[in-house]
Amino acid sequence: MADAQIATQTPHVTRREDYREPDWLVPDIALDFDLDPAATRVRTTLSVTRNGSHAHPLRLDGEGLTALSVKVDGVAVSDWSMDGEDLIVPLSGGAHSVETEVEIAPERNTQLMGLYASGGILCTQCEAQGFRRITFFPDRPDVLSKYKVRMTADKARYPVLLANGDPIAQGESEGGKHWAEWHDPFPKPCYLFALVAGDLVANRGSFTTMSGRDVQLGIWVRAPDLPKTDHALHALKLSMAWDEQVYGREYDLDVFNIVAVDDFNFGAMENKGLNVFNSRYILADPDTATDYDYDAIAAVVAHEYFHNWSGNRVTCRDWFQLSLKEGFTVFRDQSFSADQGSAAVNRIEDVRGLRAAQFPEDAGPLAHPIRPDEYIEISNFYTATIYNKGAEVIRMMATILGPEKFRAATDLYFQRFDGTAATCEDFVQSMEQGGGVDLSQFRLWYSQAGTPRVSATLTRDGGRARVKLRQTVPPTPGQPDKAPMVLPLKLKLFGEFTGRAMCDEQLVLLKDPEAEIVFENLTEQPVLSINRGFSAPVIVETNRTPKDLAFLSAHDDDPFARYEAMQQLMLDTLVESVANGSVDHGPVIDAVRNTLGDTALDSAFVAEAVLLPSDSFIGDQMAVVEPEAIFHAREALRADLGRELAAEWRAAYEGARANRFEYSPAAKGARRIRTVALGYIAASGAADAADLAFAQFEGADNMTDRQGALTTLANGSSPLREAAIEGFYRRYSANALVLDKWFQTQALATRDDTAQIVETLARHPDFTLANPNRARALIGAFSVNQRAFHDLSGRGYRFVADQIIALDKLNPQTAARLIPPLGRWKRFDAGRAAKMRAELERIVATPGLSKDTFEQASKSLD
């Protein structure tokens, strides 16, 4: 029965190799919206032209649409038909005007794709295939059109009407309505279309471009949120200046608007001239946003702004090319963030994110290359692989070319493909020609999935040292055999006795399965520093001893490599502890003491360096993940670090003690080390730890300190825990974004009863699956809490599966993104694996399951 259901449900697979040019082009489109939350009329006029010689009718995508009328060249026709959801219009000549009319109900749109209502605001989300839920259209990114948009709406409810491009005209109409017209002079694919109607106010600014044009900027929010928009506006101006300086890219319209909405499936969207944001990536003030939020806001504002060139001016030919815009744009926003603050800390955070999200994806059932070969639902491919590994691939090309040639190559790319829908291959060719390099073998990064492994062994005899390198690329679904790849590895040797560099940094391009590098005339024992700056997104195994790693953590001159050496030392220690039940914590304690005492280091870096690897990253190193053993090994090391370095943590805590809030790198670093130190003081079991945390919680003048203290208290079992959780709730119960933190902090807690607490929170009156931020804050966070989610009873799996099934009915995209933690069953013991599979099977067998969730759950069973 279940099998029969699965078979009849199996949806259509789209393949990259099946790409064909569109039959019909749409150089111009005029959209006329009569906006109303219950019934919005959409009248669309397409000017269509036959592309090449063929006899195919015009085929327009639709989803949930009924054509109320179809006209060709101004005359109503009746020879149109429906093929499934597609509207088919037979056309004889080479160019026609085609008009359609539909009615949609934004207030009933819970998927948040197409035109929907968020709070009192009407807004759109069209990437990847939401435009077909608004009107009939060839919904594919290689159909570029000039848009004219007219909106009519009730003036009292929707006083502000925004769309892409420039405002052209506005006026009053009868019945308390008003209208506005916007024209976008730049041809664009329909996934970049946007409109917004609402009762909004703007934080306005302006920017003068490098050629002296004035651009009017607006960050649009509901009136009470206006005071929280300065940081985003500032970040926007910095981004505009940065893209001119670093890439020579100037903004091209007279206005640039950003709108913040509370209900949004993703972070934000780069619609031409009208970015729409998840409000969590716009709104900030010290009382409600953490330093992490401030940084993320700047990064996402930059990301969406940078898409104006990498994504909009040059767009994607088809959705298999998604990484063309996303990988490149993430690389660009990472470079921007690195230039604003500490480059080293930024790189550490990028790599931590890659290892937390992308490495597991690459090692699991949903592994795919950065340019996939097939998909059922494209929304499932907005992944850490496409975005973050994609960014690493661009970074490697930038490393291989060097800064000048990389800039020449991006100039060539933008100049050659401006106004077109391009491919990843176009980008690589631009890199080759602009940089004068051959990237034939490098292209494997686009087609092969899986994280390459490099083993590096250093041996010394007398004055000579050899570094032997070996690479392997693991099999992934559909790709059993892999070819060796090009791995750019930055390496250097340091003298163990003097601590001095024994050579300049070298960039080795490992292309073969094996290679050997020889160093001569060495006068002392060398220690190998490799993959410096994380020059290649690979897993490196070395024959370095704990002593070598401790040495590098103190002496390497690349801050990332110092961090990395410390992490490796901690990881080796914890893995051994899990395997043997005990281990000598001494080397880690000494290395952490050393780092804490190094006055030349800035506190933000120190705070990153002394943090232990996460439970799940420790699990990733093991053949079979043992959640309980990992948790206890890690807690034991934390406790020892807390006790042995008690004086150092106290000093770090006091040294960084409350000053008035300021958003500067130094103040951020002080807050970071303070909360990290507080965590270690609590881990030590110090009698006053809860009091200290509660005092920080109560006295904080900013959310970073307050949430840091709340986290420490929520993990513990002091009577002050309840007071903090309740106090936080009372103080912020009207602020959705802060309530998300309240749910998330409890879902991530390290307590024994977290699963039970989360089940209770799912029945809390403030919990709702209808808001993606809220769903992710509780369900998403819980499912990455390794120990709690993998509770031996299987209750965590059952709970998450229940939530996914319920959410799938409302919002398939968001539901499908919650599947991957259940899909990691192969990494666990047979008992857990069977329970995880059973939940996946239950999900797949659910009647009426979306193709989003079907694709992720069914692939996860393989």
Enzyme catalytic residues = 304
263 binds ligand TRP (CB under 6 A): no
Between 390 and 488, name the residue whose CB sits nearer to Zn ion.
390
Q: How far is the CB of 303 from ligand TRP (least distance, A)?
A: 6
Between 329 and 696, name the residue whose CB sits nearer to Zn ion.
329
Q: How far is the CB of 264 from ligand TRP (least distance, A)?
A: 7
Between 393 and 591, name the residue whose CB sits nearer to ligand TRP.
393
Closest by CA position to 441, among listed 432, 453, 450:
432
Q: How far is the CB of 300 from Zn ion (least distance, A)?
A: 9
Closest by CA position to 49, among listed 69, 67, 22, 75:
22
Between 163 and 552, name the residue whose CB sits nearer to ligand TRP.
163
Binding at 125: pick from Zn ion, ligand TRP, none (beta carbon under 5-8 Å per type): ligand TRP
266 binds ligand TRP (CB under 6 A): yes
Segment contacting ligand TRP by CB under 6 A, of 37-45, 204-212, 263-271, 658-666: 263-271
Between 127 and 362, name the residue whose CB sits nearer to ligand TRP.
127
Q: How far is the CB of 784 from ligand TRP (least distance, A)?
A: 20
Question: What's the rounded Cα separation, in Å, for the pair 119 and 391?
Answer: 34
> What type of residue is 834?
A
Q: How far is the CB of 265 from ligand TRP (least distance, A)?
A: 4
Q: How far is the CB of 192 from Zn ion (least distance, A)?
A: 12
- Sketch the per residue contact string, 282 through 321, with Zn ion: x for CB under 5 A, - otherwise: ----------------------------------------
268 binds ligand TRP (CB under 6 A): yes
Q: Which residue is nearest to ligand TRP (CB)?
A: 266
Question: What's the rounded Cα separation, in Å, for the pair 197 and 209?
Answer: 28
265 binds ligand TRP (CB under 6 A): yes
Integer distance in angstroms from the first to the last C-alpha of the chain? Answer: 19
> What type of residue is 407?
R
Between 182 and 266, name the residue whose CB sits nearer to ligand TRP.
266
* DSSP run (H or E) holding 154: strand 145-154
Segment contacting ligand TRP by CB under 6 A, of 261-269, 397-405, 604-612, 640-648: 261-269
Q: How far is the CB of 325 from ligand TRP (least distance, A)?
A: 7
Please, which of residues 367-426 interact with ligand TRP by CB under 6 A? 379, 382
Question: What's the rounded Cα separation, in Å, for the pair 607 and 676?
Answer: 6
Q: How far is the CB of 315 from ligand TRP (least distance, A)?
A: 11
Between 267 and 477, name the residue whose CB sits nearer to ligand TRP.
267
Q: How far is the CB of 267 from ligand TRP (least distance, A)?
A: 6
Give the DSSP letter string of 237-286. Answer: HHHHHHHHHHH-----SSEEEEEEES--SSSEE--TTEEEEEGGGT---T
855 binds ligand TRP (CB under 6 A): no
Between 303 and 492, name the residue whose CB sits nearer to ligand TRP.
303
269 binds ligand TRP (CB under 6 A): yes
Between 186 and 306, name the residue whose CB sits nearer to Zn ion.
306
Q: How far is the CB of 111 from ligand TRP (least distance, A)?
A: 10
Both tokens of residue 185? 């002079």
- Sketch the per residue contact string, 763 through 802, with ligand TRP: x for CB under 6 A, - otherwise: ----------------------------------------
| CB 699, CB 724: distance < 8 Å | no
Sign of the Cα torsion 564, 566, 569, 573 reads negative
Angle of CA points 359, 364, 365, to nearest 5°: 145
Between 326 and 564, name the residue whose CB sits nearer to ligand TRP.
326
Work out whether strand 274-278 and strand 268-269 pair parallel, antiparallel, or are unpaired: antiparallel
Both tokens of residue 253? 């319209």
Measured in residues, the chain has a length of 862
Please, which of residues 277-306 interact with ligand TRP by CB under 6 A? 303-304
Residue with the two structure tokens 């998927």: 111
Question: What's the rounded Cα separation, in Å, for the pair 112 and 63?
Answer: 13
705 binds ligand TRP (CB under 6 A): no
Segment contacting ligand TRP by CB under 6 A, of 150-158, 262-270, 344-352, 626-634: 262-270
- Three-state DSSP class for residue 627: helix
Helix 851-861 with 795-810: angle, nearest 10 deg: 150
35 binds ligand TRP (CB under 6 A): no
Is the backbone of residue 566 left (phi > 0), alpha (psi -120 to 50) or beta? alpha
Binding at 335: pick from Zn ion, ligand TRP, none (beta carbon under 5-8 Å per type): none
| CB 761, CB 743: distance < 8 Å | yes
Segment contacting ligand TRP by CB under 6 A, of 259-267, 368-376, 497-505, 561-569: 259-267
How far does Cα 51 stand from its chain's mean position?
37
- Sketch the per residue contact string, 307 through 326, with ligand TRP: x for CB under 6 A, - otherwise: -------------------x
Segment contacting ligand TRP by CB under 6 A, of 1-9, 260-268, 645-653, 706-714: 260-268
Binding at 567: pick from ligand TRP, Zn ion, none (beta carbon under 5-8 Å per type): none
Binding at 99: pick from Zn ion, ligand TRP, none (beta carbon under 5-8 Å per type): none
Question: What's the rounded Cα separation, in Å, for the pair 265 and 124?
Answer: 11
Between 786 and 813, name the residue whose CB sits nearer to ligand TRP.
813
- Total residues at the site for Zn ion (CB under 5 A)? 2
Residue with the two structure tokens 């009372």: 730
Letter string b/e over residues 636-660, b meaning 16 or more CB atoms within 10 A of that residue's CB: bbbbbbbbbbeebbbebbeebeeee
Binding residue for ligand TRP, selected from 61, 99, 270, 293, defined by CB under 6 A: 270
Work out whether strand 315-316 and strand 421-422 pair parallel, antiparallel, or are unpaired: parallel
| Beta strand residue intervals within 51-135, DSSP E | 58-60, 69-72, 75-76, 81-83, 86-89, 95-104, 114-118, 121-125
How far does Cα 581 stand from its chain's mean position?
36
Please, which of residues 321-380 interact with Zn ion by CB under 5 A? 326, 329
Cβ contacts of 718 within 8 Å, gap of 6 or more: 689, 690, 694
Q: What is the dihedral of CA 225, 229, 232, 233, to 10 degrees?
A: 140
Segment contacting ligand TRP by CB under 6 A, of 11-19, 213-221, 265-273, 442-450: 265-273
Q: What is the DSSP letter of 12?
A: P
Q: How far is the CB of 729 from Zn ion (least distance, A)?
A: 34
Question: What's the rounded Cα separation, in Å, for the pair 574 and 595?
Answer: 19
Both tokens of residue 256? 């640039």
Both tokens of residue 403? 């800064």
127 binds ligand TRP (CB under 6 A): yes
| CB 477, CB 367: distance < 8 Å | yes
Between 326 and 620, name the residue whose CB sits nearer to ligand TRP.
326
Question: What's the rounded Cα separation, in Å, for the pair 237 and 271?
Answer: 18
Q: What is the DSSP letter of 287?
A: T
Binding at 265: pick from ligand TRP, Zn ion, none (beta carbon under 5-8 Å per type): ligand TRP
Between 295 and 326, name the residue whose CB sits nearer to Zn ion.
326
Q: How far is the CB of 112 from Zn ion (least distance, A)?
A: 17
Binding at 278: pick from Zn ion, ligand TRP, none (beta carbon under 5-8 Å per type): none
Please, which of residues 799-818 interact with ligand TRP by CB under 6 A? 813
- Total residues at the site for ligand TRP (CB under 6 A)? 15
Question: What's the rounded Cα separation, in Å, for the pair 686 and 43?
Answer: 68
Where on the chain is the footprint of Zn ion (CB under 5 A)?
A: 326, 329
Where on the chain is the footprint of ligand TRP (CB under 6 A)?
A: 125, 127-128, 265-270, 303-304, 326, 379, 382, 813
